[in-house]
Chains A and B, each alone.
Chain A
Amino acid sequence: DTAVSQTPKYLVTQMGNDKSIKCEQNLGHDTMYWYKQDSKKFLKIMFSYNNKELIINETVPNRFSPKSPDKAHLNLHINSLELGDSAVYFCASSQDPGTRDTQYFGPGTRLTVL
């Protein structure tokens, strides 16, 4: 059974388009996250939601908007895509955002903006 799943796995699109990436977890966790991995493999947090409420919002362009319809889902919508948005985006979840909790990652979505 897949614990954290993301769709699509690959996304190729033109500059200026709007796209969404979906994430679902079946672990019963309360907290979900989006991370961005650049071409040098560097990973950085973008957003975190706990029980559908935004708790982390790093310095990310407001073209990126997370949406959490329920605590098992955290989608990422990106407006007016730019070349620099090309990256691998990872969703993750944990039981709560406390210090001891392991985050479990999805398989990633490779976004390529042409």
Chain B
Amino acid sequence: GNSVTQMEGPVTLSEEAFLTINCTYTATGYPSLFWYVQYPGEGLQLLLKATKADDKGSNKGFEATYRKETTSFHLEKGSVQVSDSAVYFCARLSGSARQLTFGSGTQLTVLP
């Protein structure tokens, strides 16, 4: 079936550190891939997406590249800020399943 495996948290970094949150997906079909972010007490916001192999999604300094050969969509940011503290969700959208399948979420805390 469709699944998404995400790096377990929590992740704690100092401000300006490099961030990587790993995400892999099952290779069934040709899914679109997403990263959503949930700030404390808020709903999910789309952070970035990629719809086909080798696409790179980017937003607010975050990047992720759709890697079909490794079935991965790792989230990266070169220099995190305290305001990036949130829960990050990787997700895949399959047309046949018509639904988003989420990873388990990774809590990121950035310390000043």
Query: Residues on A close to B: CB < 8 A?
Result: 33, 35, 40-45, 48, 55-56, 90, 92, 97-108
Contact = CB atoms under 8 A, between A and B. Distances in A.
B51 A106 contact: no
B99 A45 contact: yes
Given A41-B104, A43-B89, A105 B98 contact: no
Contact of B99 (A48, A105, A108): A48
Contacts of A42: 102, 104-105
Nearest to A102: B46
Nearest to B93: A99
B69 interface: no
B51 A104 contact: no
B94 interface: yes
A101 B30 CA distance: 13
A107 B43 CA distance: 4
A22 to B, nearest CB: 15
B69 to A, nearest CB: 20
Interface size class, chain B:
20 to 34
A105 B45 contact: yes
A103 B47 CA distance: 12
Nearest to B52: A100
Contacts of A90: 43-44
A93 to B, nearest CB: 12
B77 to A, nearest CB: 20
A45 B107 CA distance: 21
Contact of A99 (B44, B94, B102): B94
B11 interface: no
Contacts of A56: 98-99
B43 A55 contact: no
Contacts of B32: 99-101
A42 B87 CA distance: 11
A12 B104 CA distance: 26
13 contacts: A41-B38, A41-B107, A43-B105, A97-B99, A99-B30, A99-B32, A99-B94, A99-B95, A100-B51, A101-B32, A102-B34, A108-B42, A108-B43
